[in-house]
Chain A
Amino acid sequence: MEFVKPTIEYAELAPLLIVFGVAVVGVVVEAFAPRPLRRPIQLTLSSAGLVAAFAATVWIASGLDVVADGAARGLVAAGGTIIVDGPTVFLWGLVLLFAAGGLMLFAERRLEGGLSAFAGQAAALPGTEAERRASSEGLDHTEVYPLMMFAVGGMLLFPASGDLLTMFIALEVLSLPLYLLCGLARRRRLLSQEAAMKYFLLGAFSSAFFLYGVALTYGFAGSMQLERIAEAVRNDGGNSELLLIGIGMLSVGLLFKVGAAPFHAWTPDVYQGAPTAVTAFMAACTKIAAFGALLRLFHVAFGANRWDWQPMLWAVAILTMLVGAVLAVAQRDVKRMLAYSSIAHTGFLLTGVLGVQATSDLAVGEITSLQAVLFYLATYGFAMVAAFGIVTLVRDAGGEATSFERWAGLGRRSPLVAGAFALLLLSMAGIPLTAGFVGKWAVFTVAMSAGAWPVVAVAIAASAIAIFFYVRQIRLMFFTEPQGEVASVVTPSLFTSSVIAVGVVGTLALGIVPGPVLDLAAHAGQFLR
């Protein structure tokens, strides 16, 4: 066997290298910098890293070469393990943008009276003297910043993976830091730790499925590379059961990450238990990265036998939308409601994913499944990050107040915050002139033109159910008389308020003039391989 040294395209991989580099430096900072200096250093490092990575992404995007047939742009990097093409760059941009939002929510310290939302000392048992001391001394886990950067690095790698092994590594790199971050809440620590534990166990479980799927697919195709797999699928190498089971196993791993039913059970518990800043980051960025990977896997590797897997995705999408919408109606807690809403959104996104068609079947200039999903992810990210940002503001003596009763009449006490939340909910509901409407419109039409009208019918019905609970929340904030103790809105620092402002403006802008971002998504073209 002969080993060939791969060539590394440093310039095109700059965003990845920057983010991972910053993460590693962050770990070193934790070891050597004095405690009071750590937070400012970490904050500067991480934000500079994200900004630099974003700038590099924009630079790469502007310089991508059009490849042979003209539908795709980009290049194959690092010996075929990383694909830097239009969709990759678009997803990188989204992940970095919303990660910056998450970082700002992480950095917020005004809400807890000068402390961050993370546990002072994670090792201290809840309710012990050690915990009290950590809190009174103002200890803070600044490790969250490098942890987050590692996760961001994994998220950048995930949708760009050119082979299954890279994809698996990326999956682990993005997941492991998240498991830790989920368990670091300053308040309600047991709930937070329980959430982290659950997320870890189930995540590990589903990763095993994914790995098994990798092995089976390798058995079928004789290669890990998506391109080779696609080739084998096209040539139909015989043992199709092996392939189908492989696809199933791979799907379980990915569908778990995006929170599709019946693999969604962790979502509400984890979203509720994790520190809200982590939830915001996780809800937006993990889903974007995982959908990127899902799209690449299904469209590139298994694009040729989509007739085999589309029915399965139909069923999963239908189930996911119904479970998300129906269960959200039964919730009495804002964070859980948003969690179920995110499950419903996963269903809508899957509706877009299964709308894939052969290029020859598309009318000239027709929006593709990929573009629709990319756009939907953008609209979804703005709304989710800002909505969870607002959840961090509504507090009472026990920290964040997330039960519905506490939110009653919020609109009268803080019309601005409640108004912003209402707008975000309307966008999630898909009311015209908000981003969500255009996103839904895009994914529904691609699914419809791919002939998936039963899924679209269910999707529209699920949207109708969903509008009910979003509007109920709005009514609760504006038209319900508060009973008993209510929560109030704490004025945040510039960090959180700018995240919310950007989310609200983005939601409105994408609804009223979605053109530029839709163009960007269209410009991203197709997957290179």
Chain B
Amino acid sequence: MYALAESAPLVDPATADGTLSLLWLVVALPLAGAVVLLLGGRATDRWGHWLGTATITGSFVVSVLLFVDLLDRGEDERQVVLHLYDWIRVGGLDVGMDLLYDPLSALFLLLITGVGALIHVYSIGYMSHDPRRRRFFAYLNLFVAAMLLLVLAENYLVLFLGWEGVGLASYLLIGFWQHKPSAAAAAKKAFVINRVGDIGMALAIALLFVTFGTTSFSGVSALAGAATESTLTAIGLLLLLAACGKSAQVPLQAWLLDAMEGPTPVSALIHAATMVTAGVYLVVRSNFIFDLAPNAQTAVVAVAVVTLLWGAIIGCAKDDIKKVLAGSTMSQIGYMMLGAGLGVAGYAFAIFHLLVHGFFKANMFLGAGSVMHGMNDEVDMRRYGALRHAMPVTFLTFAMGYLAIIGFPGFSGFWSKDKLIETALADSWLVGLLALLGAGITAFYMTRLMLLTFLTSKRWRDDAHPHESPAVMTVPLIVLAALSVLGGVLLLGDWIVDWLAPVVGTAEHHEPPIPVLAVTALAVGVVAVGVALAWFLVGRHEVPVTPPQRVSLATRAARADLYGDAVNDHLVVRPGAALARGLTTADRRVVDGFFTGIAAGIGGLGRGLRRAQNGYVRSYALSVLGGGLLVVVALLAVTI
């Protein structure tokens, strides 16, 4: 059932020369920006945001040059490594500070620096009133540098360095508005949950090293075939745990919704376009492990399918525009994970979806930011409505992202999702149908978002005076909207599949059980149903300016919780909505509770243990005696 046509291609890079030896600049530029801005202090306040934008733009230019150079090369010369210096070298332990540039990292470089540069430009406008704007740009630069290091690493240890770096930058940026307790709490939660993932990562690296004696991709990919399948499965599952933490996959997803407390450009860059995709990158990059561990792949698929539905259902129940988008991000990353879990047949499409998602989700997050910017930072969609007139550019660009994400024929998301669903169907009926269902739900909640925000009638607060954002914010939106529309060209003539083949291998062609065209038609049909349902439930009704008083008891109760809106009264009483609410509650109570509980539990345990630390020498001496007895007993017990 799995495409085990051939083992994964070896990572066997040549030494970088010519233009490609400039690779280090890509990371060094934003890093230098961060260092200057953090150490420069207030002296750099006036031009700090320009410096931050310039470094990342420089990085983008270098990335394009590198990409052009790579295009010129033959297919088997497209892997190069740049050795910076020996990081840890003693005896057989040899970890170099090495950067790997190949078709996969080339695409990530373009995405991170390209979208990153646009988001930097946008932030100049978005953060213009913030007194700590310079620091914000410093953190953004730091984040980009770490993310670039993550995707350029040639071994798992350097990757881990980038991994921790993005975690740290993300923590700083989520909690950027530190005066808000909710932001501080969200940052802490993201931090705690990510630690769980990082444990998986650290264990995976340790296991890799012990099994193969190396952590470099080239070394592991050459030796992977020699390891037992159970070892590979263990490594794969640990890597999956790491990926779940970073990519907000069930069961480590709870931090992503709260992370929306950060400034909106952060949500766009980190929690939509780049960092959260690191897990997908990790799985695809480790294809030489997953290809040989089918059980681990099955686990990836299971996690992916659960997450893509989970996120989509959460998206239906939220009223906060950023949280809907966050749920949607979770769900879309589920699609990418699904692709990655499907093995050789899916890797390329996972990356394809990752790229176009980077475009349209960044577009929509920035669009949401633009709406908030014009609405006094209001995030409740019930307080929006009919904004298409006040913000035409935001509306039109957002609409492009919307059409892309629901998979409207011709838009970028259509091509990528269609391919994923098709591959999933070829693999298993059940998985394919669930992915199809997810597409329908996506269409539903995104349509609801569009209706509540840009269409329907005005429900603004009295002091709201919506206005279009300045050009420094709208120009990035326009560029991203164009990319959302046109991203599908990457699939022309199967370009992306061929391009990634040296990294992930080529799959035998599997015919899905029903004709490809039928799959496409089915997908479009499901999407149409989702849109229609949203129109029927949300858009068809006139939303009253003041909520009607003569309503049922159930509605009244619901109103106390949700802001009074007749539209959602319909949703609340429907079983589908009950499920949605149930899941959201489960998400908040059970999963959240679990992780908050870990932190609280450790604190409580600490306080309890502290009582033993009572300061009396006699009890300390007793503990020494007891410990001594235990040690002796343990020693004797082992031998007898």
A binds B: yes
Q: Which residues of A contact B (CB under 8 A)?
A: 197-198, 201-202, 205-206, 209, 240-241, 244-245, 247-249, 251-252, 255-256, 261-263, 265-266, 268-269, 307-309, 311-312, 315-316, 323, 326-330, 363-367, 371, 415, 431-433, 438, 441-442, 444-445, 448-449, 453, 456-457, 460-461, 463-465, 467-468, 471, 479, 512-515, 518-519, 521-522
Contacts A198-B620, A518-B90 hold; do A461 and B632 have CB atoms under 8 A apart? no
**Residue B428 is within 8 A (CB to CB) of chain A in the complex:** no
Complex CA distance for A269 and B621, rounded to whole angstroms: 14
Contact pattern, B 598-635, Cβ under 8 Å of A = 1, otherwise 0: 01001101110110110101011101101110111011
- Nearest chain A CB to B329's CB is how many angstroms away? 25
**Residue B43 is within 8 A (CB to CB) of chain A in the complex:** no
> Which residues of A have CB within 8 Å of B168?
431
Question: Interface segment, B80-88, B103-111, B317-325, B385-393?
Answer: B80-88
Is there contact, CB below 8 Å, between B88 and A326?
no
**Residue B199 is within 8 A (CB to CB) of chain A in the complex:** yes
Complex CA distance for A522 and B617, rounded to whole angstroms: 41
A/B interface sample: 21 pairs, CB < 8 A = A241-B636, A247-B635, A249-B628, A252-B627, A263-B624, A263-B627, A269-B615, A309-B635, A330-B603, A366-B93, A432-B157, A432-B160, A448-B210, A456-B203, A461-B199, A464-B195, A464-B198, A467-B195, A471-B171, A471-B191, A518-B90
Is there contact, CB below 8 Å, between A365 and B92?
yes
> Which residues of B have CB within 8 Å of A268?
613
> Which residues of A have CB within 8 Å of B210?
445, 448-449
Complex CA distance for A245 and B237, rounded to whole angstroms: 42
Is there contact, CB below 8 Å, between B638 and A327?
no
Q: Given contacts A262-B627, A363-B213, A448-B206, list 13 more A-B pairs with CB under 8 A.
A: A197-B617, A198-B617, A198-B620, A209-B628, A309-B635, A312-B635, A329-B602, A330-B603, A330-B607, A365-B91, A453-B207, A464-B195, A515-B89
User: What's the dominant secondary structure at chain A's contact region?
Assistant: helix
> Which residues of B have CB within 8 Å of A433?
161
Complex CA distance for A311 and B615, rounded to whole angstroms: 30
Contacts A252-B627, A366-B92, A465-B602 hold; do A245 and B157 have CB atoms under 8 A apart? no
**Residue B639 is within 8 A (CB to CB) of chain A in the complex:** yes
A438 — nearest CB in chain B belongs to which residue? B88
> Which residues of B have CB within 8 Å of A479?
175, 178, 184
**Residue B472 is within 8 A (CB to CB) of chain A in the complex:** no
A194 — nearest CB in chain B belongs to which residue? B615
Is there contact, CB below 8 Å, between B603 and A329?
yes
Is there contact, CB below 8 Å, between A330 and B161?
no
Complex CA distance for A433 and B146, rounded to whole angstroms: 12
B175 — nearest CB in chain A belongs to which residue? A479
> Which residues of B have CB within 8 Å of A251?
631
**Residue B185 is within 8 A (CB to CB) of chain A in the complex:** no
Is there contact, CB below 8 Å, between A266 and B620?
yes
Interface band, chain B: 35 or more
B172 — nearest CB in chain A belongs to which residue? A479
Is there contact, CB below 8 Å, between B621 and A202?
yes
- Nearest chain A CB to B130's CB is how many angstroms away? 16
- Nearest chain B CB to A226's CB is how many angstroms away? 19
Is there contact, CB below 8 Å, between B638 and A312?
yes
- Nearest chain B CB to A463's CB is how many angstroms away? 7
Is there contact, CB below 8 Å, between B624 and A327?
no
- Nearest chain B CB to A197's CB is how many angstroms away? 7
Is there contact, CB below 8 Å, between A248 and B609?
no
> Which residues of B have CB within 8 Å of A513?
85-87
Is there contact, CB below 8 Å, between A326 and B605?
yes
> Which residues of A have CB within 8 Å of B602?
326, 329, 465, 468
Complex CA distance for A201 and B199, rounded to whole angstroms: 40
> Which residues of A have CB within 8 Å of B599?
468
A244 — nearest CB in chain B belongs to which residue? B635
From the candidates B164, B607, B628, B636, name the one contacting A431 in the complex (CB within 8 A): B164
> Which residues of A have CB within 8 Å of B628?
209, 248-249, 252
Is there contact, CB below 8 Å, between B627 and A245?
no
Complex CA distance for A463 and B198, rounded to whole angstroms: 10
> Which residues of B have CB within 8 Å of A522?
90-91
Is there contact, CB below 8 Å, between B195 and A515?
no
From the candidates B86, B164, B623, B636, name the one contacting A265 in the complex (CB within 8 A): B623
**Residue B571 is within 8 A (CB to CB) of chain A in the complex:** no
Contacts A365-B91, A431-B164, A522-B90 hold; do A249 and B632 have CB atoms under 8 A apart? yes
Complex CA distance for A364 and B94, rounded to whole angstroms: 13
- Nearest chain B CB to A378's CB is how many angstroms away? 13
> Which residues of A have CB within 8 Å of B615?
269
A310 — nearest CB in chain B belongs to which residue? B638
> Which residues of A have CB within 8 Å of B207?
448, 453
- Nearest chain A CB to B531's CB is how many angstroms away? 44
